[in-house]
Structure 1
Amino acid sequence: MIKLYSSTLKKLLNKWPGKKYLGEYRFLPLFFLLGASLEFSMINWRVGQTNFYSTYKRRQAKNIVEHELHS
């Protein structure tokens, strides 16, 4: 039989707190914090003069103009 996980990973996951009360959902706060930090970095970190949202807004404006021109 193929082993799809390591015993070290299994031990680490079993040591994560909240197993009794939350079960498999005990990792949810971790993922919530990771998602919030990703969103924060997308808003606040700039590369040169641009960040994710300025690029997104520019692309949306371009799509609206193209749609209006073709209509």
Structure 2
Amino acid sequence: MFRAQVRRVLRQVPGKQRFGIYRFLPFFFVLGGTMEWIMIKVRVGQETFYDVYRRKASERQYQKRLEDASD
């Protein structure tokens, strides 16, 4: 039942003859851009995704320096 509904919706996307499976690329491009915008702009608590990423990378770099200095 659900599978048939999905197929029906996918068949309604135009461009099947000309583009084939690649007709879905614009959808995924927009989805990826939206996810990137959310990771940059949307704050959860006080931090964005990239704030956390930068902090963790900095912590890893600091730990590596400590390990290198102790050797």
Same-fold call, TM cutoff 0.5: yes
- Deviation of residue 48 (structure 1)? 2.1
1:53 aligned residue: 50
Letter in 1 for 2:6: L
Distance 1:22 1:58 in 2: 43
- Deviation of residue 21 (structure 1)? 1.1
Distance 1:29 1:36 in 2: 11
1:15 aligns with 2:9: no
How many aligned positions are there? Answer: 68
1:64 aligns with 2:49: no
Structure 1 stretches of at least 4 aligned residues deviating more than 2 Å after TM superposition: none
- Deviation of residue 31 (structure 1)? 0.6
Q: CA RMSD in A?
A: 1.5
Structure 1 unmatched runs, 5+: none
TM-score by length of 2: 0.88
Q: In proportion to residue count, which structure has more helix?
A: 2
